[in-house]
Chains A and B, each alone.
Chain A
Amino acid sequence: MTRYDTVIGLEIHVALLTQSKFLCSCRASFGAPPNSQCCPVCLGLPGTLPLINEKAVEYATKAGLALKCNINHYSRFDRKNYFYPDLPKAFQITQDAFPLCNDGYLEYYVDDQLVRTAITRIHLEEEAGKLIHSGESIVASEYSLVDYNRAGIPLIEIVTAPDIHQPKQARLFLEQLRLLMSYIGVSDTKMEEGSLRCDANISLKPSGSPVLGTKVEIKNLNSFRALEKALEYEEIRQSQVLDSGAKVRQESRTWDDRAGKTVSMRSKGDAPDYRIFPEPDLPPLNLDPVWVELIAASIPELPLERLNRLEGEYGLSRYEATFLVNYPDFGELFLELADSGLDCKTVVNFLMGDYARLAREKGHLDSERIAGLFQILDERLISQTQAKEVLDALFSSPQTAREIVKDKGMEVVGDPERLRPIVHQVLEANPQLVERFKLGETKLHGFFVGQVMRATQGKADPEAVNALLQEELVN
């Protein structure tokens, strides 16, 4: 069996998080009742004209800069003409000949190796409306229902070079792209809401051959997992076709998640003829270089940059740093706490441990209150064992850690004079065990400590208890 190289390219649509739509001032939010966020312009009523949303251009430029692209100060809009019920004007306003950005890249780790995927181009375009089908699939439906709320939402289309070599890498790329978009705040990238969509192109070529194979387009990928699985399926399918001596057919295939396979879409015969021509209703986009500079300056620390910094400057492991980068809210917290002087390892262990579990359920605490907890631990006001209870309380009360401890009377009791009677009580209550300890069962020490803790509702300072037990038992 010949070995094949897999070649994958992705086409990603990202909905930009502007308040209003791309070409009109209707609200651009998700989940409103159907057709309640429409106006003559986005409905394509006769005589209406588009108006470019400045923020959409800003966000698109920001995305381009974050992906290290060349930003074209001159770019232009075009009409892409085709008929479909979700397309109000029967043409889509897009950028075909002169896109906003080109020639960028994204770097990310695949199995601890840093790889780079080239971005060929990024351009602005408008979203179409939403269709709901009466049946299981489009073609099996007697009718469909159209909602134009999404029609006119600004999108950027990001096209990668055929630079990706395995399905897993494609998924990782998409995850990193998603993360990047959310870091720069241009999109909420929710695949389930349609603000992030991905189509893939995949072809196989004989290993080492410079000639690319026939590419197949895969559509209807609704999750990162679907992307990976569909590409894995295609790899196998195409290699089987090639192994049998046949040619792979150039076509579009849809991913059937339930069946776990790609299915050929009905062939339309010719390639679509979009009759693209320059949009006469819009002037070209001429960006002021100063404006672009300002946008560049507003870009925050990007995921890979932060990863490198967390590893390099804060001494975290790849695993820890990756967690903090992937969950930037945790990342921010970490930085605030670490920068305030707390020990990095302690902080990261804390954040990734008990804190994460609670925060996921109840939301984050602010760094000050967390720092307060660390502070009282440092002061030995409470013991490590008490820390969990205080942490829990921090999530349900607005008080500081110190206040909570005070209120609950949880201060550690460390005074030997207060503890001594209790230690005596415990030892007198368990004479046989004391005997057994003196005869060598040293692990009973823990039992005695536990009993003291019980008697003091956990408030006894373990160190003091140990010291007292030492005294008493040795004698």
Chain B
Amino acid sequence: MLRLIDRQEVIRMARLARLELSEAEVEQYQADLTNFLTSGKKLQKVDVSAVEGTSHAVSITHELRKDEVGSSLPREEVLSAGPETVDGFFKVPRIVEEQE
């Protein structure tokens, strides 16, 4: 089957999206991406030179929020859903790399 996207690319996407994939899943998504790209080719051909992109379907304007302090959540509530908390902090295991 013609693959429009190579395996390395799929693995790179999975890494970017922080999704651990099994071998079978890598193959599956390689196929899915290929199908999508094939079908999406027709979009590439559309002449869009006359228009800009639409980020908002309906033109929105919104008044900016006034700089007033509102109430924050009580700390116990903030931490309540946390899978692991320590002394008021959220705990995470070793961060291997510096921030990207």
Q: List chain A positions with a Cβ less than 8 A from chain B.
A: 18-20, 24-27, 33-40, 43, 51-57, 82-86, 131-133, 138-139, 141-148, 219, 252, 254, 265-266, 268, 270, 272-275, 278-280, 282-283, 286
Determine the distance from Cα of A36 to Cα of B74 in the docked complex, in whole angstroms. 6
Task: Please tell me if B36 contacts chain A, counting CB pairs below 8 Å.
Answer: no
Which of B69, B72, B78, B97 has the most chain A CB atoms inside 10 A of its CB? Answer: B72
Chain A residues with CB below 8 A from B69, complex form: 19-20, 25-27
Q: With both chains docked as a complex, state the minimum distance between the C-beta of A260 and any C-beta of chain B, in angstroms.
A: 20
A-B contact count (CB 8 A): 131
Chain A residues with CB below 8 A from B65, complex form: 20, 25, 51-54
**Contact: B78 with A38, CB < 8 Å?**
yes
Whether A278 touches B55, Cβ cut-off 8 Å, given contacts A51-B65, A132-B89, is yes
Q: With both chains docked as a complex, state the minimum distance between the C-beta of B32 and any C-beta of chain A, in angstroms.
A: 19
Chain A residues with CB below 8 A from B66, complex form: 54-55
Whether A147 touches B89, Cβ cut-off 8 Å, given contacts A37-B72, A38-B73, is yes
Q: List chain B positions with a Cβ less than 8 A from chain A.
A: 12, 16, 18, 53, 55-56, 60-62, 64-73, 75, 78-79, 86-100
Shortest beta-carbon contacts, A-B, top 8: A25-B70, A55-B67, A145-B89, A54-B64, A272-B100, A278-B55, A146-B90, A283-B60
15 residue pairs from A and B, CB less than 8 Å apart = A25-B68, A27-B72, A38-B72, A40-B73, A52-B64, A53-B64, A53-B65, A55-B67, A138-B98, A145-B91, A266-B97, A272-B100, A278-B55, A283-B56, A283-B61
Whether A146 touches B92, Cβ cut-off 8 Å, given contacts A84-B99, A280-B56, is yes
Chain B residues with CB below 8 A from A148, complex form: 78, 90
Q: With both chains docked as a complex, state the minimum distance between the C-beta of B28 and any C-beta of chain A, in angstroms.
A: 22
Determine the distance from Cα of A27 to Cα of B96 in the docked complex, in whole angstroms. 31
Determine the distance from Cα of A56 to Cα of B86 in the docked complex, in whole angstroms. 33
Chain B residues with CB below 8 A from A18, complex form: 67
**Contact: A142 with B93, CB < 8 Å?**
yes
Determine the distance from Cα of A86 to Cα of B65 in the docked complex, in whole angstroms. 25
Chain B residues with CB below 8 A from A35, complex form: 75, 78-79, 88-90
